[in-house]
Amino acid sequence: MRSPAEILYNFHWIVPGEAARSAQAYLGFLGPFLAAHGIRSVINLRGANEGFRWWRSEKRVTAAHGIAHFDTMLNSRRLPTGQMLLDLLAAFDAAPKPLLLKCSGGQDRSSFAGALYILHCKGWGAFAEAENQFARWPYLHRPKVQQRWLKPFLTFARDDAKGMPIAQWIARSYTDKRLKTWLEANGLADSFRGLYLPGTAPGA
C-alpha cells in the first residue's frame, strides 16, 4: 500500500530499488521523503533555478543528507535540444542509485524522463515498458494540447534509430528540428509550443 506522502508527491518506482519518479516535495518534507526511500541522488528536471526558493531548499536539503543533486532541463511544451537529452542521459549514468527523477507535478516531464531511463538502460526491447510511463493511471499523465509531443517522441526515436542505442542515436542523428518536422508530418503540428529557447521559464 502506498503511503500518504507517496500519493501526495506522485511517487512511483521506475525500476524498483534503482530509479524512481515524483513531483516536487515542498514544506520541509523533502528530507524525510528522500530518506524513507533510501534515495542517494536527485535529478531535477526543472533546471537550475537559483532565484526560486524551492531550488535553494532542494540543494540545501540534499547536501545536508549527503544526496547527490543533478540539474537537468526539460520543458514539457518545447522540443528539447540534443544536448539537453544527452545531459539527462549523462545524469542517469553518473547518479548514485537509487535515484529520483522529479519535476513539478511528476506527471509529464517525469513520464518522459522515466521512459528515456528505461530505453537507455534496457534498450528498445523495453519499448512497451517505456511507453507505460505515460499512463494516466497511476502516473496522472494527462497532457495538455502543447504537451502531446512527449509520448510520440518515443515512436520517432525508435523508428529513426533503427536499433541504434538511444544515447548513440541522440548524439549522431537527433535534432529538435528533425523532431519538429516529423511531428508536423504526422498530424501533431499543434502538439508543442516551439523549440526550446535558452532562458525559457521551466514551466513554459
Mean pLDDT confidence for 170-197: 97
Task: Using alpha carbons, list the distances in angstroms from residue 62 to 30, 40, 54, 98.
Answer: 9, 9, 12, 14
| Helical segments of the chain, H only | 4-8, 30-36, 53-64, 82-94, 109-122, 127-131, 152-161, 166-172, 176-185
Mean pLDDT confidence for 127-132: 98
DSSP state of 48: -
Confidence of residue 28 (pLDDT cuts 50, 70, 90): confident
Q: What is the pLDDT of residue 204?
A: 41
Give the closest residue to 77 by CA, choosing from 143, 142, 137, 133: 143
Mean pLDDT confidence for 40-44: 98
Q: Is 15 helix (H, G, I), strand (E, B) or coil?
A: strand
H, E, C per residue of 97-153: CCEEEECCCCCCHHHHHHHHHHHHHHCHHHHHHHHHHHCCCCCCCCCCHHHCCCCHH
User: Residue 195 belongs to what H/E stretch?
Assistant: strand 194-195
Confidence of residue 197 (pLDDT cuts 50, 70, 90): confident
Domain coordinates in residue numbering, the chain:
4-195
**Does pTM surpass 0.75?**
yes
Q: What is the pLDDT of residues 115-124, one digit of tens each?
A: 999 999 999 9
CATH class belonging to 4-195: alpha beta
Mean pLDDT confidence for 167-186: 98
Residue 125 has pLDDT above 50, yes or no: yes
Q: Is 17 left (phi over 0), alpha (psi -120 to 50) or beta?
A: left
The x, y and z cell numbers of residue 56, run together, are 535553494
Q: What is the pLDDT of residue 202?
A: 56
Q: What is the pLDDT of residues 47-73, one digit of tens each?
A: 999 999 999 999 999 999 999 999 999
Strands 68-71 vs 41-44: parallel, antiparallel or unpaired: parallel
